[in-house]
Amino acid sequence: MSHSRCKTAILISGSGSNLQSFIDQVASGSIDLDICTVFSNNARAFGLERAKKAGIPTSCVDHTAFDSREAFDRATAAELDPYEPELLILAGFMRILSPWFVRHYEGRILNIHPALLPLYPGLNTHQRAIDAGDAQHGTTVHFVTEELDGGPCILQGRLAIRRGETAEQLNRRIQAIEHQIYPKAAQLVADGEITFRDGRAFRDGQPLTEPLLIDFPD
Ligand code: GAR
């Protein structure tokens, strides 16, 4: 990917505040992506309303109607592929992807995970960071591979956990960071500055051994 207006599909399951950030940043010219479609596994996801309001085509497939991950994923791809997406943005898409899906879009799927990966893959990341007494926490944009929350990291946003902060309070601050860093990371990939090859991330052709990091001071 090395051209502007990269055709980008965004996949959601819920509120879609990250989706909204992409929509707003495209509208303001901060990023230059073509959000060609928004897909959800949940017909009641508020993010679908956000997409419709922005005039973006939407589709929805209920995962509970399928008896295997791959069958659902093939139905998802059947909705996405007519748009010929060059980049897939998982924005609170709460489904584990089948190996088939990851290979079908190899190197073209990004996810945001609310932790400083490799710390805290999986769920309840904020509470786990608080319970561990961590001084810092954050969120990570990474390429998706077959390993859950395990693909090469691209960009992290980091903050200091406040004394006595609850998981809910932390989540609000982490989400505000996500809204800034996710579109930025997607643009780097769309522009070909960050690439994926053989399970690794590269920046300007050099292996990206550590993710890019932005510290957000209090
Ligand atoms: C985001 O905070 C994202 O980090 C998280 O879901 C939220 C979706 O919010 N994703 C995961 O936990 C993936 N493992 P949104 O629907 O308001 O964008």
Predicted confidence (pLDDT) per residue in 142-194, tens digit: 999 999 999 999 999 999 999 999 999 999 999 999 999 999 999 999 999 99
Quick one: 116 and 178 in the same domain? Answer: yes
Residues of the chain with pLDDT under 70: 1-4
Quick one: 52 and 117 in the same domain? Answer: no
Q: Which of 54, 78, 105 is the last residue of a domain?
A: 105
Quick one: 128 and 183 in the same domain? Answer: yes
Quick one: 174 and 143 in the same domain? Answer: yes
Q: What is the domain range of residue 35?
A: 1-105
Which residue is associated with the tokens 């309840």? 124
Closest among 42, 47, 43 to 17, alpha carbons compared:
47
Q: Which positions are catalytic?
A: 113
Structure-token pair, residue 139: 């969120």
Quick one: 87 and 42 in the same domain? Answer: yes
Quick one: 72 and 131 in the same domain? Answer: no
Nearest CA to ligand 1 atom 10: 92
6 alpha carbon to ligand 1 midpoint, in Å?
23
181 in helix, strand or coil?
Answer: helix
63 in helix, strand or coil?
Answer: helix
The C-alpha atoms of residue 131 and residue 112 are separated, in whole angstroms, by 22
How far CA 73 is from CA of 15, 53, 67, 150, in Å, comes to 21, 26, 11, 19
Nearest CA to ligand 1 atom 14: 113
Quick one: 148 and 202 in the same domain? Answer: yes
Quick one: 124 and 216 in the same domain? Answer: yes
Give the number of the atom of ligand 1 that is nearest the alpha carbon of residue 45.
Answer: 16
Q: List, as own/partner pairs, every contact residues 132-138 make where C-beta atoms lie below 8 angstroms and the sequence separation is at least 24, other chains included.
A: 134/161, 135/160, 135/161, 136/160, 136/161, 137/161, 137/170, 137/174, 138/174, 138/177
Q: What is the pLDDT, as a whole number, of residue 2?
A: 47
Q: First-to-last CA distance in the chain?
A: 36
**pTM here?**
0.97
Amino acid sitting at position 206:
Q
Residue 29 Rama label (left phi>0; alpha psi -120 to 50; beta): left
With DSSP H G I counted as helix, E B as strand and the rest as coil, what are the percentages for the chain, rounded to 5? 35, 25, 40
Quick one: 97 and 160 in the same domain? Answer: no
Output the domain CATH number for residue 138.
Answer: 3.40.50.170
Q: What is the pLDDT, as a whole number, of residue 69?
A: 98
Quick one: 88 and 119 in the same domain? Answer: no
Give the number of the atom of ligand 1 that is nearest the alpha carbon of residue 139.
Answer: 4
Q: Work out how many domains the chain is built from and give that number.
A: 2
Q: Which of 84, 105, 126 is the last residue of a domain?
A: 105
- Looking only at the bridges linking them, the beta strands covering 136-143 and 153-160 are antiparallel
185 alpha carbon to ligand 1 midpoint, in Å?
16
Q: Which of 87, 105, 123 is the last residue of a domain?
A: 105
Quick one: 134 and 185 in the same domain? Answer: yes
The C-alpha atoms of residue 170 and residue 33 are separated, in whole angstroms, by 29
Quick one: 50 and 123 in the same domain? Answer: no
